[in-house]
Structure 1
Amino acid sequence: MTISHSLDSIGFGYRPRAAYACDPARSRGRLHPEPASPTRTPFQRDRDRIIHSTAFRRLKHKTQVFIAHEGDHYRERLTHTIEVAQIARALARALCCDEDLAEAIALVHDFGHTPFGHTGEDALDEKMAAWGGFDHNAQSLRIVTRLEHRYAEFDGLNLSWETLEGLVKHNGPLMDAEGNGLRGPVHPTILAYNSINDLELASYASIEAQCAAIADDIAYNAHDIDDGLRSGLLTLPMLEEVALPGRILRLVRQHYPGLDPVRTTHELVRRQITMMVEDVIITAREKLDRLAPQSPDAVRAAGETIVTFSGAMAEQERELKRFLYKNLYRHPSVVAVRAKADQVVRDLFDAYFADPMLMPSDWCQGLDEADEGVRAIAIADFLAGMTDTYALKEHQRLFDRTPELR
């Protein structure tokens, strides 16, 4: 199937499914077989199960970059997730693949994140070092295969093979053909599940999963700029010195001289998203023409990620990330709040580990006599599922002093 490199052919409405797209009628199925739905495809059912899960609701009160107490205008995990899903669907539509699968993977991709963003994940990773560490992708898999208790016949959400594959491998293969981890050891949770439902960890993921992965990058690059400007940690003059937003700002000011800063920010954010999305579509179409995959398995065996930025855009995106790390994520005020959040998570882990009975009854049952590994994993599950606000309330309940996260 030859795909035009021009954006003129993106269009709207129905688009035929390409040979390389995942076909819901040919899904590899679920670990626990279920009757087919007469009204929804397997991927649509996955999306609906994800949206109705407890883990999805909890994203509303989990931090993206700024601690939730900073204000209602900043993004949390839920708004970020919805934005990623919208971009993933747009990419999937343009590349003639399954929009529902791309959306499902986007909606589930942050389930395993701890309270307080990457700060909480880093703290739990250190605390869990003796038991395989903590990884939010592995935790997402654990949530949707074990920890959600909504169905009478099985634990988890019993998602389709394709959605689970995309959740685990959306950033690329986890191991080489010999079984060696490509980015360090593969987390025990992933290996354990893979032993009963092979997710083919040495191959690339589907086109739909790749759409979800790069949609995540596009969303947070643009929206962290928005939140950074709202916070005052970033300014428009600072962004003028960075190639991609600087180029966009010059265009905005050329077309709308004297535009107020609020509208200028919105123009910057939306134009950056559009520019990145269009770059990905053109680049992916060029790769698809070159590789000519005739099935989803051909995508998995392609030996490279297909849905990517062009070389020029990739370099501009790396520059933007370096700028955001220096001026936003590592800003002294953000680092100071992160240090306090880090202490909250460590304090809670240590308290529960010393006395599991401090956790709710449905979590602590049998842990007082369990070995350390079982105890630690249960505590990590409980902590990772907390929202920011619940973690702070628990700390206030157990300790005389709880830091103010501001």
Structure 2
Amino acid sequence: MVLTHRSMEIAVGPSGLASFAEDPRLSRGRLVAEPASATRTPFQRDRDRIVHSAAFRRLKHKTQVFVPYEGDYYRTRLTHTIEVSQIARALARAFRLDEDLTEAVALVHDFGHTPFGHAGERALDRKMAAFGGFDHNAQSLRIVTALECRYADFDGLNLSFETLEGLVKHNGPILGRHAAADDGVLRPVARPILDFNAVMPLALDRFADLEAQAAAISDDIAYNTHDLDDGLRAGLIELADIEELDLAGDILREVRAKYPALDPARTIHEIMRRHITRLVEDVITTTAKELEDLRPQSADDVRNAGRQLVRFSPQMEAAVGQTRRFLFARVYRCESVMSVMREAERMVEALFDRFHERPDLMPGDWASGVDGLGEEQLIRRIADYLSGMTDTYAINEYERLFDAVPHLR
């Protein structure tokens, strides 16, 4: 069967999915073999395991941009993740991809983030510099393959190959021994990824499937939009400030022309929903052209394409880059945010140093057997413990160990 979608035709197989989508019936399986489910596909089981994990729940109290003290209506890692998932499913639906796999990759992509967002990651990266540093994407892999201890038959969540591949490579292939990070900078591949790849090869030199690519670009769409939204609501930027942006400024003028008397709160919401729509529609149009040009007949054809197929048009990519630079200058690096992040970094480093001096101060199983660990194993355990903390738990631990209240305001 062939379905026509805008400017392209999509060949649909017996599964109801496009020929270039991942077919759950042909999954490459799990590290630990399990009996098939009578009611769910492998990718549905992955999604469900992710949603029911402790790591997913902890995202509720992890910083996206603003820490908890600053208000409970700003995005957290959890609300960001849900927004990414919604956008990703829309893209998957447009191209008849496997929506469950796309959703699974979207839901798991931020598992490895530390408390206090990138501030906590910077602190841990410095503390672990002698042992390869800290990378939140590699930490996500550690969580789902080792640190979630819930099941009787295996550590981690025992996710399928396709979900793990998407988690590791959603931002692109790993080239030689360098991986494409969120910011596009090439860095040495984190050791946890190399170690797991030696056990379950993830084709690190190739692109991921379209499901993972859809999840990755949905992350860009979500944070470029909601960080503008949060910045406006926090008072760090004004509506007049975004007039300079090619995308948001054009939408602002469109909204004002149609609703000249609209109040600021509704104006902001109108801008943001149209912002997402324009980005999504641009990705769909551009990706349709890429698929029409390449005509992949399988998910492996996508992996071997040598380029990202789910992408923005060059014009929209420029607009997204402009928005990203604006957010860095006016939101992420404004002094009111940076002062809080500097204090958060100092607090995470202080916690790390204290646990390094006194690993017995870690609770329960975290402190079990630490006397028999080598230095690198100890450092890794401390990083695992700290990175899994929520903002509120990290604050409580700091107060417990130092009898002091951090100034995160």
Identify unmatched segments of 5+ residues in structure 1.
none
Distance 1:15 1:256 in 2: 45
Opposite residue 240 of structure 1, the aligned amino acid is: E
Q: Which runs of 4+ in 1 moved over 6 A?
A: 7-10
The residue that corresponds to 1:104 in the other structure is: 104
Change (3 A) 1:193 1:344: same
The residue that corresponds to 2:200 in the other structure is: 197
The residue that corresponds to 1:214 in the other structure is: 217
Contact 1:15 1:96 in 2 (8 A): no
The residue that corresponds to 1:155 in the other structure is: 155
Identify unmatched segments of 5+ residues in structure 2.
181-185
Change (3 A) 1:72 1:99: same
Q: Secondary structure at the match of 2:383?
A: helix
Distance 1:282 1:180 in 2: 31
Contact 2:15 2:23 in 1 (8 A): no
Q: How far apart are 1:184 and its partner, in Å?
A: 2.3
Say how many residue pairs are matched: 401
The residue that corresponds to 2:382 in the other structure is: 379
The residue that corresponds to 1:344 in the other structure is: 347
Cα distance per residue 1:291-333 (max 9 Å; x no partner)? 1111101100000000000000000000000000000000010
Q: Secondary structure at the match of 2:370?
A: coil
Among the aligned pairs, what percent are the same residue? Answer: 61
Distance 2:251 2:4 in 1: 26
Q: How far apart are 1:5 and its partner, in Å?
A: 6.7
The residue that corresponds to 1:264 in the other structure is: 267
Distance 1:191 1:319 in 2: 34
Distance 2:136 2:332 in 1: 19
Change (3 A) 1:254 1:317: same
Contact 2:149 2:155 in 1 (8 A): yes
Distance 1:43 1:130 in 2: 37
Change (3 A) 1:9 1:90: farther
Change (3 A) 1:2 1:325: farther
Change (3 A) 1:9 1:181: closer
The residue that corresponds to 1:281 in the other structure is: 284
Change (3 A) 1:232 1:398: same
Distance 2:7 2:386 in 1: 45
Distance 1:375 1:300 in 2: 37
Q: How far apart are 1:6 and its partner, in Å?
A: 3.0
Q: How far apart are 1:130 and its partner, in Å?
A: 0.8
The residue that corresponds to 1:242 in the other structure is: 245
Distance 1:112 1:84 in 2: 16
Matches within 5 A, 1:16-31: 16-31=16-31
Q: How far apart are 1:180 and its partner, in Å?
A: 5.6
Matches within 5 A, 1:6-405: 6=6, 16-176=16-176, 183-405=186-408
Opposite residue 89 of structure 1, the aligned amino acid is: R
Contact 2:24 2:42 in 1 (8 A): yes
Contact 1:223 1:269 in 2 (8 A): yes
Change (3 A) 1:361 1:197: same
Distance 1:16 1:7 in 2: 20
